[in-house]
Amino acid sequence: MQTELEPSEQQQLENGLKSLASEQSELCSKLRSEIDHVGAGVEARKKFEADMEAVHAWLKAKNSEAKKYAGYLPLKAVAVEKEIQQYKGFENDIKDFNGSKLSEIQKQSNALLKECSEPDKKRLQNIIQAAIDEYEALKKLADNKLASLIDLLQGRKQFEADIDRCQQWLNEAEVATSAEIRAPNVGLLEEQLSKYDKLNDEAGKIGDQIELIIQQGKAILPTVSAADKMTLSEQLNGMKDKHGRISTVIRDRSDGLKGQIENCKEAAAKVEECVNFMSDIQKELKELNRPVGSKVEDVQGMLASYEVCKTFIFSC
């Protein structure tokens, strides 16, 4: 064909072929680029869907874990502290999730939004917002639970401290009332009575504190497990019974001491009265210790005086 063409025509044909080849090469390059772009888009969407599925699975698992923590409250302060540490770990997991998986899925979403149609953009934004809302709800639940556990810890510590103070007094009072009272005189009896009056006053105050603790315990019982209910009920009932026994001993001994002191005072008064009688009799006897007169009247008067002294002596 070249032999049939003029040189100028041949050059024109060659130029046309070169231009066509260049256009074909450019078209192929664009086509390959578009294919690569579409392929990358497919992979990006596959990764987005897989990552979104993983996000939903993680949030679902953590919500289930949060519900597990929302059960019965611990009874002991040490158990509350342990749960606080567990929940802090739970809270850290949530924060780490926000800084890694959730942040990454948001970046992927922002990249995809640039290539989506308006309807697809809306759907994608709704998907991402739903995940964010679920995360925020979980984070709020964790924050509230941790705050409530910290408050609970302070309450449990105070409750246990109140119980310990009452138990300590009961133990000390039990020891103080265990020995028998042996007081040989009024002074020691009054000293013992002062001790028991003080114990009786303290017993009244401790009784009020125990009653307050029991009321607090009644509020706690519905929030703890069956085992903790039994433990707390036994502890409170035991403390109340022990206080009742010790208070009865204190009152009985206080009343007994008052009776003993009264009897001792009455006996002392009677002894003093007898001593005074004896002193008077001794005076009478000294007066009678004189020569007897010669008259019968003198003898009868002296005998009458002796009879009076005899009556005084026997009255003592």
129 and 185 belong to one structural domain: no
Whole-number pLDDT of residue 251? 92
Q: What is the pLDDT along the chain (316 residues), one digit of tens a residue?
A: 555 656 666 667 667 766 666 666 677 667 666 665 555 566 767 887 888 888 888 888 888 887 776 678 999 999 999 989 988 888 888 888 887 888 888 888 787 777 777 887 888 888 888 888 998 998 888 888 889 999 999 999 999 999 999 999 999 999 988 877 776 777 788 888 889 899 999 999 999 999 999 999 999 999 999 999 999 999 999 999 999 999 999 999 888 888 887 887 777 777 776 677 667 666 655 655 555 555 555 555 555 655 665 665 555 5
**Collapsing DSSP states into helix, strand and coil, what is residue 124?**
helix
Which two structure tokens, joined as six digits, stand for 236? Answer: 């409170």
- Looking at the fold, whether 115 and 187 belong to one and the same domain comes out as no
- In a shared domain, residues 222 and 129: no
94 part of a folded domain: yes
* Per-position b or e across 5-40, b if 16+ CB within 10 A of its CB: eeeeeeeeeeeeeeeeeeeeeeeeeeeeeeeeeeee
CATH number at residue 131: 1.20.58.60
**48/142 same-domain check:** yes
Assess if residue 227 is contained within a domain. yes
pLDDT at 185 (0 to 100): 76
pTM value is 0.68
Q: Are residues 122 and 154 in the same domain?
A: yes
Q: Which residues have a Cβ under 8 Å from the Cβ of 194 and sit 6 or more positions away?
A: none
Q: How far is CA 173 from the centre of its chain?
A: 27
* CATH number of the CATH domain containing 213: 1.10.287
Q: Which pLDDT belongs to residue 231?
A: 94
**Closest alpha carbon to 181 in 199, 169, 204:** 199
Whether 312 is covered by a domain: the verdict is no
Whether residues 143 and 184 fall in one domain: no
**Do 141 and 192 fall within a single domain?**
no
Nearest in space to 166 (alpha carbons), one of 227, 222, 235:
235
130 with 238, same domain: the answer is no
pLDDT at residue 108, rounded to an integer: 81
Tell me if 79 is assigned to some domain. yes
Q: Do 92 and 193 fall within a single domain? A: no
Check whether residue 51 and residue 156 sit in a common domain. Answer: yes
Instruction: Evaluate whether residue 290 is within a structural domain.
Output: no
Are 100 and 156 part of one and the same domain?
yes
Question: So what's the pLDDT on residue 91?
Answer: 86
Tally of domains within the chain:
2
Residue 232 lies in a domain: yes
Q: Is the residue at 304 inside a domain?
A: no
Q: Which domain holds residue 204?
A: 177-272
Q: Is residue 49 located within the same domain as residue 142?
A: yes
The answer to the question of residue 83 being in a domain is: yes
